[in-house]
Chain A
C-alpha cells in the first residue's frame, strides 16, 4: 500500500483534492488494488456514519432539568428590558408581512368567501402608530371561516394535528393577551403577541392552501 496516496483517500472522498491531485490519485487507484479496496472501506465508514440513529437517554432527564429552571432567569424578562423604541416599527412591519401573505393565499384560493383581508398598515416614511390588532383579528377570522369550509378536503389525522397546533398557538395568544392587560405598555409582550398571531395566520394560510390543492 502506498502511504502517500492512502493518506489522501479521505480528501478524495470529500472532494477536497485539486484537479491535478485527483487525476494522479485516480491513476494510482487503477493500478493499486490495496488502495482501491481501502477507498471502498472508507466510503463504507462514511455511509455508516450518515445512517446512525439517535437514541433517547435511558432515564428521563426532564425532572432534574425542570427543578433547575430558575424563574427569575426567564428569557422573557431579560428580553423585555432590551427592547426599546424601535419595536413599534418592527410590529408594523411584521403584521404587514403577515397580511400580505394572507392576502396572497386569498388570491390563490380565488376568494372563495368574502374577499381578502384589509390592506396592511403603511410602514414606509415617518412611522405612525397603527393599531394592528383589529386588522389581524379580521384576517384570522376570514382564514378560519375559509378553513371550516375547506377542511373536509383534508384527512382526519391531518385535521387533528392542525387543530392541536392551533390550540397551542391560541393558548400562547391568550397568555400574551392576559399579560398585556397587566402591562399594556410592554413592547416585548406586544411583539410576542404579534409574532404569535403571525404564526397562527401562517398556519391557517398553509392549511387552506393545502385544502384548496386537494379539492
Chain B
C-alpha cells in the first residue's frame, strides 16, 4: 500500500473516531471535524450564495451538523454527509430569503465588468469572480453540476425544477463563463 493511501486510510479512521466522539457529545472531537472540513464547506457556501452570507451560513452548517449527528449512520463518509447537509442548508437559505429574482440567465446576458485573462496564476481567481457574477439559479446549477459533480436529476429535485431547466441553466452558465474567461 503506498504511503499516501495509508495516510488517507488513517485520516479516514481518525475522522470516523472523531465522528463517534462528537456523536457522544465531545466538542473537541467536533472541532477537529470542523477544522478538517471547513475549507470545503466554506468554499461550497461561498460559491452558492452571496459572499456576505458565507461565514454565517458556514457556521449554521456546522451547528446543524452537531445537532444532527445522531442521524448520521455511517453509511457514507462523514464528509459526504456534511456536504449533503451543507447543500440543504444553502438551498433552505435560498428559499427563506426569497432568492428568486435573477434566477434565470438569458442567453445574451453578459457578465460585464469581469475581466478575463489567459493562462496566468490568477486565472482561478478570475474564474471565481466570473462565477460569482452569474445569476443565482445558473450559478447554483453550475456549482452543483460542474464543480460538485451532481447529476441533473439530483439538481432538479434539489431546486424544484425539471431536469431540462437544469440543463439549460448549466449551458447558459458555461457560455457566460466562456465569454469572459477567454478574451
> Which A residues are within 8 Å of any B CB, using their own CB?
7, 9-11, 16, 38, 41-42, 44-46, 48-57, 59, 61-62, 64-66, 68-69, 71, 73-79, 82, 155, 157-158, 161-162, 164-165, 168-169, 171-172, 175-176, 179, 192, 195-196, 199, 202-203, 206, 209-210, 213
Contacts and interface: CB of A to CB of B under 8 A. Distances in A.
A48 B6 contact: no
Given A49-B146, A55-B43, 5 more contacts: A38-B178, A56-B39, A75-B23, A165-B10, A168-B18
A177 to B, nearest CB: 12
B21 A65 contact: no
Contacts of B54: 57
A62 B30 CA distance: 10
A152 B13 CA distance: 21
9 contacts: A38-B178, A64-B59, A75-B68, A76-B25, A161-B7, A168-B17, A172-B20, A192-B23, A196-B20
Nearest to B68: A75
B97 interface: no
B182 A74 contact: no
Interface in B1-54: 1, 3, 6-7, 9-10, 13-14, 16-18, 20-27, 29-31, 34-35, 38-40, 42-43, 54
Given A11-B167, A55-B43, A61 B70 contact: no
A57 B69 CA distance: 23
Contacts, number: 161
B167 A45 contact: no
Contacts of B18: 168
A164 B43 CA distance: 29
B17 A213 contact: no
B16 A42 contact: no
Nearest to B14: A165
A49 B58 CA distance: 21
Given A71-B25, A75-B66, A79-B70, A61 B38 contact: yes
Contact of A10 (B16, B127, B167): B167
Contacts of B177: 45, 48
A38 B123 CA distance: 19
B55 A52 contact: no
Contacts of B78: none
B40 A54 contact: yes
Contacts of B71: 75
A153 to B, nearest CB: 12
A52 B127 contact: yes
A66 B35 CA distance: 12
Nearest to A179: B24
B27 A192 contact: no
B27 A66 contact: yes
B54 to A, nearest CB: 7
B174 A42 contact: yes
Given A75-B67, A168-B17, A176 B3 contact: no
Contacts of B6: 158, 206, 210
B23 A79 contact: yes
Most buried by B among A7, A45, A164, A206: A45
B170 interface: yes
Contact of A169 (B17, B34, B43, B59): B17
